[in-house]
């Protein structure tokens, strides 16, 4: 019985490694325990093949309010925390 429990825990930890991660810049810290992170991705246009920038904003959970405005941060996908928050802060890369 114990083997199945540990096997499940190991499997869950392996699965956790598959979560998406994004690096972006903090553009808002106005909400309590929430930061808004803006990421920029460069992709070719589907028809014309010109490189275009895609900018996307993510609401991320910042429990200890460690990130400040303008910081570069690493965020990771997580379970839904609120209506808009599906990401959490992993680390501050650059102040």
Predicted model pTM: 0.78
The number of distinct structural domains making up the chain is 1
Phi-psi region for residue 86, left (φ > 0), alpha (ψ -120 to 50) or beta?
Answer: alpha
CA dihedral sign of residues 75, 61, 59, 12: positive
Residue-wise pLDDT for 8-58, tens only, equals: 555 555 666 699 999 999 999 999 999 999 999 999 999 999 999 999 999
Determine, yes or no, domain membership for 13: no
pLDDT of 8:
56
Determine, yes or no, domain membership for 12: no
For residue 83, the enclosing domain spans 20-94
The rounded distance, in Å, linking the Cα atoms of 48 and 17 is 35
66: CATH: 2.40.50.140
Determine, yes or no, domain membership for 5: no
**Cα distances (Å, whole numbers) of residue 44 to 21, 24, 41, 55, 79:** 21, 20, 10, 14, 31
The rounded distance, in Å, linking the Cα atoms of 47 and 82 is 37
Determine, yes or no, domain membership for 9: no
């Amino acid at each position: 019985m114990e083997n199945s429990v540990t096997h499940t825990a190991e499997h869950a930890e392996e699965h956790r490694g598959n979560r998406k991660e994004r690096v972006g810049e903090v553009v808002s810290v106005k909400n309590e325990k929430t930061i808004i992170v803006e990421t920029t991705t460069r992709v070719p246009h589907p028809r014309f093949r010109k490189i275009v920038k895609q900018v996307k904003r993510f609401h991320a959970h910042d429990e200890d309010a460690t990130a400040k405005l303008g910081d570069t941060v690493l965020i990771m996908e997580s379970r839904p925390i609120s209506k808009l928050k599906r990401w959490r802060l992993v680390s501050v890369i650059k102040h």
